[in-house]
Homo-oligomer: A and B are copies of this chain.
Amino acid sequence: MGDTLTERSRQILEAIIEDYIKTAEPVGSRSVTRRHGLSLSPATVRNVMSDLEELGFLASPHTSAGRVPTDKAFRFYVDSLLQIRSIDDEQRDEIRRHYRSQGRDVGEMLKETSRILSSISHYIGIVVAPRFTANVFRQIEFVKLCGSRILAILVSESGVVQNRIIESNEEIPSEDLVRMSNYLNNLLKGLTISEVKARIFQEMESDKVRYDDLMSKALKLSEQTLDEPDAEVFIEGQVNILEQPEFADVDKMKEIFRAFEEKGQLITLLDRCMDAERVNIFIGAENFLNRMNQLSVITAPYASGRNTLGVLGVIGPTRMGYDRVIPIVDYTARMLSKLLGSG
């Protein structure tokens, strides 16, 4: 639909958007002519701007205050105007440096990743930890704690660990626990977690198991271990958003921080990007959470081998520096994938 835009309109729109990204303030016709090398008079630009407003690309906060790009404008900007540069060498090196000085616990790595995203983009970094369900089973272990409490540890192919304390109703000797885990490891090796669940169910029904107390106990334990806790998210750099002039207002700030407290919603949002090929962008109120009205999200999935594990991204104001941030998100996702992969 928008393709009725003339070349000149596009240039002007781009100029306005870029100006607005820099200043966070409504852009007037004069600024456009001055800053941009267009040999046009302010009056002409005004006419064009008026058209752009009609088309829904611009909005005026009030009569005499220049114009502000709408979500639609940013969408157009991202889709059609923006040429994505590859990442700056400097930033690439910085990302690498961060990862190098890094302990190798997977959780730590994810947290560090969100820190990297935030510190390099100057916005908010976010990483959704891998769901077990999207993962390949590697091993299960049971550790006897005091009394009848058992610690179950589940390890995936990519080294993600999920652990859970199970309150058993009877005390099980350590040797039995070892036998149980051997049995399960054999049974489940190489399956994805969703297959694992199906397999457990199927095995429970089988005669062989029904009369073997140990096996059936083992299956029950594994079942309890598998039921997944809420996905973990690492969010870092929330303060950065406070630097943005458009959030200088206390109420807006509250809204935003409240949005971040409800991690469930965030996760739902990011989960939708799991299947995306590469970078995915949500602009402003485009898709989601009313609380994140004035924010955009740039996401990319990360993987281990062919297996998509989770999603990471950057959250910033709608007027964020897309050209700068998109390559950062993309590169970080690939870097993380490499580190989690067979590396």
* A153, B146: Cα distance in complex, Å: 18
A253:B242 contact, CB within 8 angstroms: yes
B153:A141 contact, CB within 8 angstroms: yes
A261:B239 contact, CB within 8 angstroms: yes
B254:A250 contact, CB within 8 angstroms: no
Instruction: Select one of B162, B167, B250 contacting A105, CB under 8 A.
Output: B162
Instruction: Select one of B254, B261, B343 contacting A149, CB under 8 A.
Output: B343
Interface string of A229-264 (1 = CB under 8 A from B): 100000011110010000010100110011001000
* Contact count band on A: 35 or more
* List of B residues within 8 angstroms of A237 by Cβ: 261
* List of B residues within 8 angstroms of A266 by Cβ: none
B155:A159 contact, CB within 8 angstroms: no
* List of B residues within 8 angstroms of A166 by Cβ: 104
- Beyond A147-B343, A250-B248, A250-B250, is A104–B141 a contact (Cβ under 8 Å)? no
A161:B167 contact, CB within 8 angstroms: no
B165:A105 contact, CB within 8 angstroms: yes
Interface string of A143-181 (1 = CB under 8 A from B): 101110101010101110111111100000000000000
How many identical chains are in the complex? 2
Report the minimum CB–CB distance from A237 to chain B (whole Å). 8
Query: Which residues of A (75-132) have their CB < 8 Å from a CB of B?
Result: 103-108
Q: What is the chain B residue whose CB lies nearest that of A257?
A: B239
B104:A165 contact, CB within 8 angstroms: yes
* List of B residues within 8 angstroms of A151 by Cβ: 155, 159, 161
* A107, B153: Cα distance in complex, Å: 13
Asked if A29 is an interface residue, CB under 8 A from chain B, the answer is: no
Question: Can you give 26 A-B contacts (C-beta < 8 A)?
Answer: A103-B164, A103-B227, A105-B163, A106-B165, A107-B163, A108-B229, A138-B143, A141-B141, A141-B143, A143-B155, A145-B157, A145-B158, A145-B159, A146-B157, A146-B342, A151-B159, A151-B161, A238-B257, A238-B261, A239-B257, A239-B258, A239-B261, A242-B254, A242-B257, A250-B253, A253-B253
> What 8 A-B pairs come out closest when comparing CB atoms?
A104-B165, A161-B163, A146-B342, A239-B257, A105-B164, A151-B159, A143-B155, A242-B254
